[in-house]
Amino acid sequence: MKRLWPFALLVVLGALLFWGLRRGDPSALPSVLVGKPAPDFTLPAFAPYRAEWGERIQLSRYLGQKPILVNLWASWCVPCRDEAPMLEAAWRQYKNRLLILGVNVQDTNPGAALGFIQEFGLTFPSGIDENGRVWIDYGGYGVPETFLIGKDGKVLYRHAGPLDPATLQELLGKVL
């Protein structure tokens, strides 16, 4: 039996590494916010939204009324380009039952971000998170990230990475 332990160790190490290979994205970092109240933020709104939403967008003003989908994006982020039209379509469809809030994270400049908004004709409001403080408050580790906040003001779900139509539908299904 004494001679078997190196082999046992090898099997354990091999199994561990094999599991490591199969577990999917190694950089995935589960959110610690799920089940907790969504951190509040107040951000300057992009020019197109100021008329309707005011100079500054404050999350707590909308909490408790409707479920909220907070989407963190940036103009330099490639997958965000796939996501934007989907979010816009969802917004148009469920406007009265759901609020979609965009948070523009550490963008190279507001001009680029505005260009992105115009390119995709985004009508849901977005605020400017110049420094990325909101990003850090939400435990972000990439862009895009999407947070689903329930009617009770608690974070229900965080999706890291680009949304695909099925995931978006699933997310919306949880609150609609």
Partner 1 sequence: MSYVAPPRSSKTSWRTTYAVRRIAALLLLLACSFPPLAFAQPAANTPPPDFSPQVFEIARELRCPVCQGESVAESNSGISLEMRRIIAEQLAQGKNKEQIKAYFVSRYGPWILYEPPRAGLTLWVWLAPLVGVALIGAGLYFYLQSARRRALEAGAAEVSEEELRRAEAELDQS
Partner 2 sequence: MTPGLLGGFSLVAALLFSVIGLGLCFFAYFQRDGRYLEAAKRTSGLALLAALAAFGALEWALLTDDFSVQYVALHHSSTSPLWVKLVTPWAALEGSILLWATLQTLYTWIVSWRVHTRGLPGGKNGLDPYRAPIALGVLFTVQVFFFAVMVFLAHPFNAVIPPPTEGPGPNPLLQNHWMMAVHPVLMYLGFVGFSVPFAYAVAAMITRRYQSWVHETRWWTMIAWGFLTAGKMAGAWWSYEVLGWGGYWAWDPVENASFLPWLLATAFLHTSMVQERRGLLRSWNFSLVILTFVATFFMTFLTRSGVIQSVHAFGEGPVGPVFLAFLLSVAFVSFYLLSRVSSEVKDVGEVRLLSREGALLGGAILFTVLTFVVLVGTVWPLVVEALNGAKVSVGAPFFNQMAAPFGVFMLLLMGIGPVLPWRQSKPQVIRNLLILLAVLLIGTLASLIWGWTLGVSLAVGLFLYNLAAVGLMVDQGVRERARSLGISAARALADLAVTNKRRFGSHIVHVGVALGCLAIAFSQAYRVEAQKTLYIGETWKKVGLEVRLLDLRQVQEPNRIATIAVVDVRGTSRQGLWAEGQYRPRLNVYPVMNQPLPSPSVKYTLGNDYYFILQQFGQDERGLWATVRVIVTPLVLWLWVAGMIMVLGTLYILWPSGLRAPAKAPGGATA
- The footprint of partner 1 (CB under 8 A) covers 25, 27, 29-30, 32-33, 74, 76-79, 105-112, 128, 130-133, 135-144, 160-162
Segment interacting with partner 2, rule: CB under 8 A, options 6-14, 65-73, 85-93, 149-157: 6-14
Residue 92's contacts (CB-CB under 8 Å, 6 or more residues apart) are 123
Binding of partner 2 at residue 3 (CB under 8 A)? yes
**3-state DSSP helix/strand/coil % of the chain, to nearest 5:** 45, 20, 35
- Interaction partner, residue 150 (partner 2, partner 1, none; CB < 5-8 Å by kind): none
Q: Would you say 46 and 104 are in contact if contact means Cβ atoms under 8 Å apart?
A: yes
- Interaction partner, residue 106 (partner 1, partner 2, none; CB < 5-8 Å by kind): partner 1
Q: How far, in Å, are 21, 22, 29, 139, 145 from residue 26 at the CA level?
A: 9, 10, 8, 17, 17
How many Cβ atoms are within 10 Å of 94's Cβ, its own excluded?
A: 17
Binding of partner 2 at residue 136 (CB under 8 A)? no
Binding of partner 2 at residue 14 (CB under 8 A)? yes
Q: Which is nearer to partner 1, 18 or 141 (CB)?
A: 141
Q: How far is the CB of 43 from partner 1 (least distance, A)?
A: 12
Binding of partner 2 at residue 94 (CB under 8 A)? no
Residues that bind partner 2 (CB under 8 A): 3, 6-7, 10, 13-14, 16-21, 23, 26-27, 29-30, 76, 108
